[in-house]
Amino acid sequence: MDKLEKGLGRANLEHLEAEARAQGVRHKYAARGQEIPSPLIARDKLIELQEQAIRHGLADRAEMLEQFRITLAIENGQPTRNDKELARLGAQLFTAQTEFRASNEHADRFDQTRHLQRWEVGGERWSLTELDRQIEWQSDQARVIGRYSYHLDPRARRAASQEAARLVTVRDEILTRIDERSNKLQKQTEDARKLVEVLASAHETESANRARDGRAMPQPEFTREELRRIEANAEVTRDAVLLRQLNEIERRSNEGGSRSERVTAEERLSREIARELMAEVAHQESAGRLTGFTERGDAQPLVIESGDGRISVHRLKDTKPYSVIERALRPFIENQAARETRHAIEAASANSQARLLADYEKSQSYLEATREIARTLRAEVHEQGIDIAHLIPALTPKERIDLEIYAERQADPRERDRYLSLARGEVAHATPLHDAPGSRFTQAHASEFDHGRVAEQSHAYETQARSTGRAR
């Protein structure tokens, strides 16, 4: 660790020194009214630097190096890219597009769940939902006439008032952290979008040049790292189309690679079984969330963001009238602000259910895609006469952790033991997962959800861009 920190320190120092020298050169040429000359850099080094910039998502650097690349090609009378480099550009663009979609998904998920995530402040862990409930409780305890009882002890009321004030400062800190995290995710999404623009522009230019010469663009050539990133992005976005594309890319890359780099059909099947297993888990969790909202939607916490950026947490049942009289009098006694807040809460509830339904359907399509691919691979392996009875899912370290966490949450001991054994590589799982007991939940809930009612609610409560709802 110390060695890495020292290396990072040296690299930062060298970067600052080089930046200072470069700035001096810029000022010198600007004072003369002359254009800055193109950097003297070998073509191989330029390609390597641009590869690094793209891999790390540095759109500005990649764009600058693309301009250098064009200038160098013109000076030397050479094409900007040869066939192999064009194949790499196609792969880089495809990977960047999946990164952008995954970044968008991460930002949207955080926006939807920011009020449920816990943050540590002063040794305590709070979510915004928990904190608002506690502030409401302490504030009520600080009143002589509370919502449910009288509070006659002045010392107890004073203590409750102080605690409420303390929790308000904790809430402010959590809101600051939520804002920082949201800004960071938005920046990552914007950086990913810009990188896609840079690569798409280069790809369009190269494609147009090739079309004029009557030549087709070569097939993209992906690195192992890019394939892993695409796989991770497909899982994040639950994109069944992308997963099928990845399967074809992997197949093509495997067939075109050297013998030493090829992945056997057995190894591919082992990995695909792991994907199928994790897709099953994700689908069951998605079905559980949708079922929970369908059954207890009125009590679910909903985050509302006002026009000035203030965040508050509400429940749909808080907007319901407690009596027939209250329902009848509401149009006459409800002020404009209360009405707008109520409409925002109703919109947030409808949109949350619609989003959960969309997530459920996406996870179902993704699971079906993993099963389809695994079925094809099983047939291929069977034709080769390979025994897969003892094949173990090739889980990544992160997947093992996620699967163990999921297993520990299972109420059924048999289900818990099954998933724990799979996570620890203690049992084989060559049998199709949908034939296993673990799929009972998914099968039982497959037709429970009223699609028409959700769509009708979502249409009735159309809102602005954020599905969490807004109030003025």
* Model pLDDT, residue 317: 86
Say if residue 455's pLDDT is above 70.
no
Q: Can you give the pLDDT at residue 403?
A: 95
* Phi and psi torsions of 146, nearest 5°: -85, 180
Q: Of the given ranges (78-87, 302-311, 380-389, 439-448), which has the lowest mean pLDDT?
A: 439-448
**Which residue stretches of 297-410 are H helix?**
324-333, 336-383, 397-408
Q: Worst-scoring range by mean pLDDT, 78-92, 97-111, 418-432?
A: 418-432
Identify which has the larger pLDDT, 258 or 177: 177
User: Does residue 4 have a pLDDT over 50?
Assistant: yes
Return the percentage of the chain with pLDDT > 90, whole number: 58
- In whole angstroms, give the CA distance from residue 282 to residue 332: 47
The reported pLDDT for the residue numbered 17 is: 56
Taking only the tens place, the pLDDT of each residue in 237-248 is 999 999 999 999
Backbone phi, then psi, for 470, in 5-degree steps? Answer: -135, 150
pLDDT at 11 > cutoff 60: no
Predicted confidence (pLDDT) at residue 319 exceeds the cutoff of 70? yes
**Mean pLDDT (the chain, rounded):** 84
pLDDT of amino acid 298: 87
Mean pLDDT value across residues 211-237: 94
> How many CB atoms are closer than 10 A to CB 306?
15
CA–CA separation, 191 and 112 (whole Å): 21
What's the pTM? 0.80
pLDDT for 25 equals 54
pLDDT at 291 > cutoff 90: yes
Amino acid at 266: E
- Confidence at residue 89, expressed as pLDDT on a 0 to 100 scale: 97
Q: Check pLDDT > 90 for residue 156.
A: yes
**Does residue 336 carry a pLDDT above 90?**
no
Asked if residues 471 and 341 have their Cβ atoms less than 8 Å apart, the reply is yes
CA dihedral 25→31→37→38, nearest 10 degrees, is: 60
**pLDDT, average across residues 297-307:** 85
Helix (H, G, I), strand (E, B) or coil at 47: helix
Query: Can you give the pLDDT at residue 146?
Result: 87
Query: What pLDDT shows up at residue 10?
Result: 64
Query: Residues 394-422: what's their mean pLDDT?
Result: 93
What distances in angstroms separate CA 5 from CA 2, 14, 265, one per listed residue?
Answer: 5, 14, 42
Statement: residue 451 has pLDDT above 50: no
The CA distance from 135 to 119, in Å, is 16
With b for 16 or more beta-carbon neighbours within 10 A and e for fewer, the 220-229 pattern comes to bbbeeebbeb
Q: Tell me the three state secondary structure of residue 306.
A: strand
| Radius of gyration for the alpha carbons in the chain, expressed in angstroms and rounded | 28
Whether the Cβ atoms of residue 151 and residue 93 lie closer than 8 Å to each other? no
pLDDT at 453: 43
pLDDT tens for each residue of 63-77? 999 999 998 898 888
Residues 360-404 have pLDDT tens digits of 999 999 999 999 999 999 999 888 888 887 888 999 999 999 999
Residues 6+ apart with CB under 8 A from 49: 41, 61, 65
Helices 83-113 and 43-55 pack at an angle, to 10 degrees, of 20
Residue 125 — left, alpha, or beta (φ > 0 → left; ψ -120 to 50 → alpha)? beta
3-state helix vs strand vs coil in the chain, percent to 5: 70, 5, 25
What mean pLDDT do residues 312-318 have? 86
C-alpha torsion angle, residues 424, 427, 431, 432 (rounded to 10): -10
Classify 215 as helix, strand or coil: coil
Measuring CA to CA, which residue among 443, 437, 444 is closest to residue 421? 437
User: What whole-number distance in Å separates Cα of residue 248 and Cα of residue 292?
Assistant: 37
459 vs 101: which has the higher pLDDT = 101
Decide: 108 and 204 in contact? Cβ < 8 Å. Answer: no
Average pLDDT over residues 247-251: 93
At residue 353 the predicted structure's pLDDT band, cuts being 50, 70 and 90, is very high
- Judged against a pLDDT cut of 80, whether residue 463 lies above it is answered with no
Provide mean pLDDT across the span 209-224: 93
Closest alpha carbon to 406 in 293, 278, 305: 278
Characterise 36 by phi-psi region: left (phi > 0), alpha (psi -120 to 50), beta (else).
beta
Average pLDDT of the segment spanning 199-224? 94
* 431 pLDDT above the threshold of 70: no
Query: In 10 A of CB 407, how many CB atoms?
Result: 19
At residue 2 the predicted structure's pLDDT band, cuts being 50, 70 and 90, is: low
Residue 232 has pLDDT above 90, yes or no: yes
Q: Does residue 407 surpass a pLDDT of 50? A: yes
Q: How confident is the model at residue 123 (pLDDT cuts 50, 70, 90)?
A: very high
Report the pLDDT value the prediction gives residue 234, as an integer from 0 to 100. 97
Name which of 26, 67, 25, 28 is nearest 49 in CA terms: 67
